[in-house]
Amino acid sequence: MTDTEFYRGRRVMITGGLGFIGSNLAHRLVQLGADVLLVDSLIPDYGGNLFNISGIESRVRVNVADVRQASTMNYLVRDREVIFNLAGQVSHIDSMKDPHTDLDINCRSQLTLLEACRHHNPGAKVVYASTRQIYGRPDALPVTERHLVRPTDVNGINKAAGEYYHLVYNNVFGVRACALRLTNVYGPRQLLRHNRQGFIGWFIRLVLENREIEVFGDGSQIRDFVYVDDAVEAFVAAGASEAVNGEAFNVGGDEHIAHRDLVAMLVELAGQGSYKFIEWPAEKKAIDIGSFYADSSLFMARTGWAPSVPLREGFTRTLSYYRAHLPHYVDQGSV
Amino acid sequence: MTDTEFYRGRRVMITGGLGFIGSNLAHRLVQLGADVLLVDSLIPDYGGNLFNISGIESRVRVNVADVRQASTMNYLVRDREVIFNLAGQVSHIDSMKDPHTDLDINCRSQLTLLEACRHHNPGAKVVYASTRQIYGRPDALPVTERHLVRPTDVNGINKAAGEYYHLVYNNVFGVRACALRLTNVYGPRQLLRHNRQGFIGWFIRLVLENREIEVFGDGSQIRDFVYVDDAVEAFVAAGASEAVNGEAFNVGGDEHIAHRDLVAMLVELAGQGSYKFIEWPAEKKAIDIGSFYADSSLFMARTGWAPSVPLREGFTRTLSYYRAHLPHYVDQGSV
């Protein structure tokens, strides 16, 4: 069955549906003909942005709600066939300042959603957005799913617990679920308003505002990046596949690059901005994990998915998007 | 420095201090001359039992409190030099029926205790009682700390998160902490009232009441067992060691045995009781992990600890203890 056949008329739900990946996924699912329900809390600074569904407003249903609210989730999951579970608090720094809130959103809410499915819609399929952050500092590269889970911050711990819940609910209660451990996702519709949700969006904003990027240390730390359209295709594939249930998969890019080279490429592609090297801030260094890139071959083998957008192409598209829409991602009043 | 030198006059606190391992640890720390504060919620059915401190009542301070209560924990940790963090909801079955309560106690409360230390007593040393349950079904035996964390139930997930929090608070905030992944601990002062906290206490009760033990399947599943006095010595060693900070260690027995042989030994040692084999109940089978025994050599090398009580000796002592005190562990009115 093709994705179009699978998703046409399919009742799907995306938690965090107005956020970065969630909204890009919404665009794709609308294109595939799905019946799309977006659930988002629109908590300021978390990434939800109504502009993200510009162009598909009339073809999706938006329900503003917080995934922490059990009775709401019990209701909303009822008729949904595939649930893309992307709602989260994604700032590592915030998680260390206010660990209880991170726990409520990334840990407790996952149980709430899964309990909602268990008791009100056990036939639902759930695809959970996990993160490479759960691995912590890698023992060796590339990192496979056999690598120990060893988070370096509270956010990583809670994301790991959220992921484990999904696998246990699959194995014990038959709520089909899997987890995608995303590496660094970049592209249109990402929050650029502050720098607490990772560096990539922030770097893009700085070059577009012709400002100077500060690269920590010598910038030699390596990451792999996955363009958001490729990440979206991974969710689409996982949602339609029965071969992924009960497992967690790396989903990363097939190119990896040092921070300094990435920044140089951004400045070159933008034709503006600059960068300098600075010493590591202590609070960032304490939770840094050095170089990281993932081996995504397990997910590729299982689903046929593969990243298709090269780095230069992805960043060219990204810069072009934000050039056209920057105020919607920078101004406080845009949400 | 000997343990006696280290603990004499040392201000220690035990969460879950009226429970099985906590109260045995209290007896030992009193013997070592420590200033012992026991914190316990005395929630019915969880294992806390005032009879457990019979004989040392006048030499410990008992504070009834729930580790979920942040302001209380903020106060209680203030002057404590070593905190043995053993409070927990330990029933796997309960965690699958009411996962949110398990999360609050095993996950959220650990953050609460660590935040209390971070903000009110960052010099405290914390030793966390983790569990072999976080490994799930082993890929190979014996299980070392390099084995993947892959819990099979909600309790295991929340215990894993609780453990990770301790290591992150050690690494990022300098609150010295370590975790002991205990295998099957047995001995005096364990809850025998119901069978939701593991099979070993329940089996002991059944033989003492001359009843029939039901062994699931063919009883071939293997476990290692650690006598509670040995587990206590592991906590004592970890609390006094700076060489364990920031790490998690297996703490198991050096003998492993199949369920059927264990049951036969219990019946033989007790001179009463019997057993039969029955089919696995579905709810237990779903979260069963097959055979398990741990490799505890890392902790042994790091601290010099080693288990010293052989199985037959340990179970002989255990049966003798409960023969003398069974009503305190069986009757509803005893707590």
pLDDT digits (tens, 9 = 90+) for A88-110: 988 888 899 999 999 998 999 99
Taking the CB of residue B330, how many other CB atoms lie within 10 A of it?
Answer: 16
A317, part of any domain: no
At residue B335, the pLDDT reads 37
Least confident range of A256-265, B219-228, B276-285, B321-330: B276-285
Confidence of residue B79 (pLDDT cuts 50, 70, 90): very high
Beta strand A82-85 with A125-131 is parallel
For residue B39 the two structure tokens come to 């914190």
At residue A135, the pLDDT reads 96
Beta-ladder partners of B60:
B36
A197, part of any domain: no
- Residue B40's identity, in one-letter code, is D
This prediction's pTM:
0.93
Q: Is residue A333's pLDDT more than 50?
A: no
Would you call B172 and A96 a contact, using CB atoms and an 8 Å cutoff? yes
**What CATH number is given to the structural domain containing A178?**
3.40.50.720
The secondary element (H helix, E strand) that includes residue B184 is strand B184-186
For residue B207 the two structure tokens come to 């033989």
pLDDT digits (tens, 9 = 90+) for A285-313: 877 889 999 999 999 999 999 999 999 99
Give chain B positions within 8 Å (CB) of A161.
Answer: 107, 157-158, 160-161
DSSP string of B61-126, one letter each residue: EEEE--TT-HHHHHHHTTT-SEEEE------HHHHHH-HHHHHIIIIIHHHHHHHHHHHH-TT-EE
Give the residue numbers spanning the domain of A159.
3-190+226-252+292-309
A237, part of any domain: yes
At residue A332, the pLDDT reads 53
Q: Is residue B285's pLDDT more than 90?
A: no
Q: How many structural domains is chain A composed of?
A: 1
C-alpha B77/C-alpha B12 separation (Å) is: 9
A143, part of any domain: yes
Average pLDDT over residues B216-227: 95
At residue A157, the pLDDT reads 96
A141, part of any domain: yes
For residue A211 the two structure tokens come to 């400002």
Confidence of residue B78 (pLDDT cuts 50, 70, 90): very high
How close A247 comes to chain B (CA, Å)? 11
A26, part of any domain: yes
The secondary element (H helix, E strand) that includes residue A184 is strand A184-186
Q: Could you say which of B158, B168, B286 has the minimum Cβ distance to residue A172?
A: B286
Would you call A115 and B100 a contact, using CB atoms and an 8 Å cutoff? yes
Would you call A99 and B111 a contact, using CB atoms and an 8 Å cutoff? yes
Give chain B positions within 8 Å (CB) of A157.
Answer: 161, 164-165, 168
What's the mean per-residue pLDDT of chain B? 94
Confidence of residue A56 (pLDDT cuts 50, 70, 90): very high
Q: Is residue B332's pLDDT more than 80?
A: no
C-alpha A72/C-alpha A83 separation (Å) is: 15
Average pLDDT over residues A200-204: 92
For residue A302 the two structure tokens come to 């299982």
**Torsion over CA: B140, B146, B151, B155 (sign):** positive
B89, B93, B96, B97 alpha-carbon torsion, rounded to 10°: -90
φ, ψ for residue A5 (rounded to 5)? -65, -40
- Token pair 């890392």: residue: B298
